[in-house]
């Protein structure tokens, strides 16, 4: 009997429905911690993964793995390079879940720095400075500020929509340049350098793959204008940490937000913690996760198609893995 691994928690009625409808599978519902202790014999029987975390080492342990459904839109914690290279694993995701929360998180971060909220908080220690602070003269209005969104998937689309609502000038950057409904203009990643000096706000929301590693190195950070806001969602591999520390200490940025992986925490010894205008959060942008039911509904629908080999009817198939449907 092959295994379906359920990372995270489903409700009792949801699990009961799976058990009754698909008795040909062994369902393992494990927490983020306990699934790491899965035995090699269980990995060898794994056919389906309902979750958003898989390393290259775990993929090697699962030769029978044929389908992954991510309950979140971002695929950053899946070893997508290795999955694509293997060529026989289909990947689907839940494209709408928690996208609104991520958009709120990004715009909330931008507004907090634009309105100097962290400055006013810190000045409470000396109330006299509040009324004499130059912070009153450095407030931003977001209207007509330039917002550069790097990554225009479902998450990036929601972020650009909200930036556009704030009357910002929105520029989008994706692997290939194409029309985007919320961007005043969009560019390819190869055109990033001349865009960076224009940005008042830069937000990065890209999937984890080789082509995105070290996207922001010394040359890129040097091009970013003084007093800008930088927001990074997910992969820390996108930016050179040492260079970010260097430019952060120099006061180049008005503010920096990194919503980093909870499962791969930034170590306490990292110099990032010493940057005064840097906010590090533990992968909270998609929270609160209020609509997990949508993930289950899409997974259940796709599972019904999967067991009847109706692979082309499965929803939200990731394009880079869809080629296996042609075989």
Q: Among 30-39, 247-256, 287-296, which is the least confidently predicted range? A: 287-296
Cβ atoms of residues 188 and 150 within 8 Å: no
- Rounded to the nearest 5 degrees, what angle is found at the Cα of 199, between the Cα atoms of 196 and 203? 90
User: Residue 260: pLDDT above 90?
Assistant: no
- Whole-angstrom Cα distance, residue 279 to residue 255? 8
User: Can you give the residue ranges of every domain in the chain?
Assistant: 3-97+291-326, 99-281
Question: In whole angstroms, what is the distance from residue 235 CA to residue 224 CA?
Answer: 20
Q: What is the pLDDT of residues 83-101, one digit of tens each?
A: 999 999 999 998 766 888 9
| Angstrom distance (rounded) from CA 45 to CA 1 | 8
- Nearest Cα residue to 141 out of 121, 160, 116, 123: 116
Greater pLDDT, 107 or 32:
107
Residue with tokens 């950070």: 221
Q: What is the pLDDT of residue 280?
A: 94
pLDDT of residue 176: 87
Query: Taking Cα atoms as reference points, which of 32, 5, 9 lies closest to residue 283?
Result: 32
Return the CATH class of domain 99-281: alpha beta
- Peptide linkage before 288 cis (omega within 30 of 0): yes
Q: Determine the average pLDDT of the residues in 289-298.
A: 75
Structure-block tokens of residue 226: 């003084």
Q: What percent of the chain has pLDDT over 70?
A: 94
Contact residues for 52 (Cβ-Cβ < 8 A; gap 6+): 7, 70, 71, 72, 74, 75, 77, 78
Cα separation, 92 vs 99, whole angstroms: 16
**Which of 94-108, 122-136, 221-235, 283-297 tops mean pLDDT?**
221-235
Residue 327, pLDDT score: 56
Per-residue confidence (pLDDT) for residue 291, from 0 to 100: 52
- Position 293 scores a pLDDT of 73
Q: At what angle do helices 12-21 and 292-307 cross, to 10 degrees?
A: 0
Same fold, 3-97+291-326 and 99-281: yes
Q: What is the pLDDT of residue 37?
A: 83
Please tell me the predicted confidence (pLDDT) of residue 292.
58
Q: According to the model, what pLDDT value does residue 200 have? A: 98
Give me the pLDDT at residue 212, please.
73
Task: Tell me the C-alpha distance between 277 and 274, whole Å.
Answer: 9
Residue with the bigger pLDDT between 33 and 129: it is 129
β-bridge mates for residue 46, sequence order: 3
Distance CA 151, CA 234 (A): 12
31 band by pLDDT with thresholds 50, 70 and 90: confident
Q: State the helix-helix crossing angle for 154-165 and 99-114, rounded to 10 degrees.
A: 40
Task: Say how far apart CA 251 and CA 277 lie, in whole Å.
Answer: 9
Calculate mean pLDDT across residues 37-49.
94
Q: How confident is the model at residue 214 (pLDDT cuts 50, 70, 90)?
A: confident
49 pLDDT exceeds 70?
Answer: yes
Structure tokens at 58: 């775990």
pTM of the model: 0.70
Across 182-196, 224-238, 299-313, least confident range: 224-238
Q: Which CATH number fits domain 3-97+291-326: 3.40.50.720, 3.40.50.1100, 1.10.630.10, 3.30.1130.10?
A: 3.40.50.720
169 forms bridges with which residues in the sheet? 146
Whether the per-residue pLDDT at 133 is higher than 70: the answer is yes
The pLDDT, as a whole number, for residue 203 is 98
Predicted confidence at residue 108, as pLDDT, reads 98
Confidence of residue 209 (pLDDT cuts 50, 70, 90): low
| Residue 34 pLDDT greater than 90, yes or no | no
Coil vs helix vs strand at 281: strand
Q: What is the pLDDT of residue 132?
A: 83
């Amino acid at each position: 009997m092959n295994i379906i691994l359920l990372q995270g928690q489903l409700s009792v009625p949801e699990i009961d429905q799976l058990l009754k409808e698909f008795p040909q599978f062994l369902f393992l519902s494990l927490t983020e911690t306990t699934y790491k202790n899965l035995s090699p014999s269980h990995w060898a029987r794994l056919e389906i993964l309902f979750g958003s975390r898989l390393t290259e080492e775990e993929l090697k342990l699962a030769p029978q793995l044929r389908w992954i459904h991510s309950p979140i839109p971002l695929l950053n914690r899946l070893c997508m390079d290795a999955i694509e290279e293997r060529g026989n694993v289909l990947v689907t995701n839940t494209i709408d879940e928690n996208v609104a929360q991520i958009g709120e998180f990004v715009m909330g971060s931008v507004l907090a720095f634009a309105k100097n909220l962290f400055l006013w908080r810190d000045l409470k220690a000396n109330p006299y400075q509040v009324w004499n602070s130059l912070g009153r003269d450095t407030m931003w209005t977001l209207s007509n500020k330039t917002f550069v969104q790097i990554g225009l998937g479902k998450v990036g689309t929601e972020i650009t929509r909200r930036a556009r609502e704030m009357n910002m000038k929105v520029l989008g950057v994706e692997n290939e340049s194409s029309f985007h409904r919320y961007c005043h203009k969009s560019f390819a990643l190869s055109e990033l350098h001349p865009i960076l000096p224009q940005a008042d706000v830069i937000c990065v929301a890209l999937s984890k793959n080789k082509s995105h590693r070290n996207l922001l190195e010394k040359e890129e950070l040097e091009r970013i204008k003084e007093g800008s806001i930088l927001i990074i969602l997910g992969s820390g591999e996108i930016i050179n940490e040492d260079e970010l520390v260097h430019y952060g200490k120099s006061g180049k940025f008005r503010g920096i937000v990194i919503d980093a992986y909870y499962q791969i925490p930034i170590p306490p010894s990292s110099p990032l913690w010493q940057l005064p205008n840097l906010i590090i959060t533990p992968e909270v942008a998609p929270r609160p996760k209020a609509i997990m039911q949508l993930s289950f509904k899409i997974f259940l629908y796709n599972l019904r198609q999967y067991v009847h080999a109706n692979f082309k009817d499965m929803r939200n198939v990731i394009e880079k893995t869809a080629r296996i449907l042609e075989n």
